[in-house]
Every structure is written in C-alpha cells, then in structure tokens.
Amino acid sequence: MQRALAQIKQSVLELGTLVEESLYAAMKAVQDRDAELAIRVIEDDTLIDEREVDIEESCLQFLALYQPVAADLRFIVAVLKINNDLERVGDLSVNIAERAAFLARERAPRMVFDFQQMAQSAQRMLRSSLDALVKGDVVQAWEVCVADDEVDSLNREMYINVQRAILKNPDDLEALIHMLSISRHLERVADLASNVGEEVIYMVEGKIVRHKSEEYRSYRVAQGAED
C-alpha cells in the first residue's frame, strides 16, 4: 500500500516537472518570438494529457484495491484534484504558445510589454506548491495561496497598459489583444498553483480552505511565525 502511494506521489511530481517545463518554454517563446519553440510546446502537450490520465487511473485503482481512510484517503483525493490542476496549467501553456506563435509571425507592436515579473511569479508559485506537496509543508502552501494577490495585481496593470496602448496604436490591436491573453493565462496559472496549495493544506490538516486566504495571517500568528 505504501509503495503504491509513493508511486502515485512520484508520478504527480513528474507531471509537475513536465508542466513547469512547458510553461517555461511557452514564455521563452513569447520573449524570443520563437515560433518553432511555441509549436513544440503545443505538440508536447499530448504527453502531459497522457500522464494526467495515467495518474487518475492509478488513483481510482488504489481506491478500489485498498479502500483508504483518514490521511491516505485525503492524499488520494488531493492528488486527483492536483492532477487535474496541473493538466490545466499544461493547457494554459499551450494557449500561451499559440499566442507566441502568432506574435512571432507578426510585426512587433510599437508598445512592448515585459511579462518577466508576472511569469516569474506564476512559475515560482507553481514550483513552490509542488515543493509544499513533497514536504507536506502547510506554511509554504499558505504562502502560495497568498502570493496569488501579486499576480492578480500585475494582471490588472497589464489590462490598463494594453487599454492605453490600443488607444495610442490602434493598428496594433490584434497583437495587443494576444498580449493581454498571455497576461490572463499567467494569472490563471497562478490561480491553479494556489489551488494546489489549498489541496496540500487539505491533505495535511483535513481542512478545506478554498476562498479563505485571509486566514493566513491568523495561521502564522498561531504558529508563532510572526516577529
């Protein structure tokens, strides 16, 4: 039983690595205006989809064979949700790559936007959520949830900047809309990383914390984490 659990956990982490690589490559394709790299991201999504299905089947088989309870049951339930969230991040990476492929073929808009901070924040959240899963670290999982506010703020800034750019350079409308879509996809990646953090908290504590990130401060106080 424990060997089967360890294998499922390892499979999820391997999927997480594939998803991280896909997101990184998609954003590199945007930055470098690299259509070939964007196409590779799109083509490689099939592997992520296959891994997601394999993990789900393994979890369902585990439930049927072992009928787990308590912590083991919470782990399987959390993995089923995390598995789905990671596959959706893979889909968002494909969406970003599709925008990158379009932008690579078109004249660069006269107002160029830097996605670096937003991309790094979303990627850091995703990586940290998977680290929290590995370590069963509730504090780190909470920190991922709270970090979502930063990416939301950056997305709002991008929306305002694109609005202004459209007014100044209406000929660049199509390219600017694609850039806004990239921003929205990154914001959604951050949301899904936050979901993973929430599932880690559920897995460790049996506590459902969706829509309750305001509890973070009181949690840290209770743990003696504040100065």
- What digits encode the pLDDT tens for the residues 93-140? 999 999 999 999 888 777 677 889 999 999 999 999 999 999 999 999
Confidence of residue 221 (pLDDT cuts 50, 70, 90): very low
- Domain coordinates in residue numbering, the chain: 2-222
Is 3.40.50.1820 the CATH classification of the domain at 2-222?
A: no
pLDDT digits (tens, 9 = 90+) for 140-199: 999 999 899 899 999 999 999 988 888 888 888 999 999 999 999 999 999 999 999 999
Q: Do the Cβ atoms of 29 and 41 come closer than 8 Å?
A: yes
Which of 11, 16, 5 shows the shortest CA–CA distance to 192? 16
Is residue 108 exposed (0-12), middle (13-18) or buried (19+ Cβ within 10 Å)? exposed
**Residue 215: predicted pLDDT:** 62
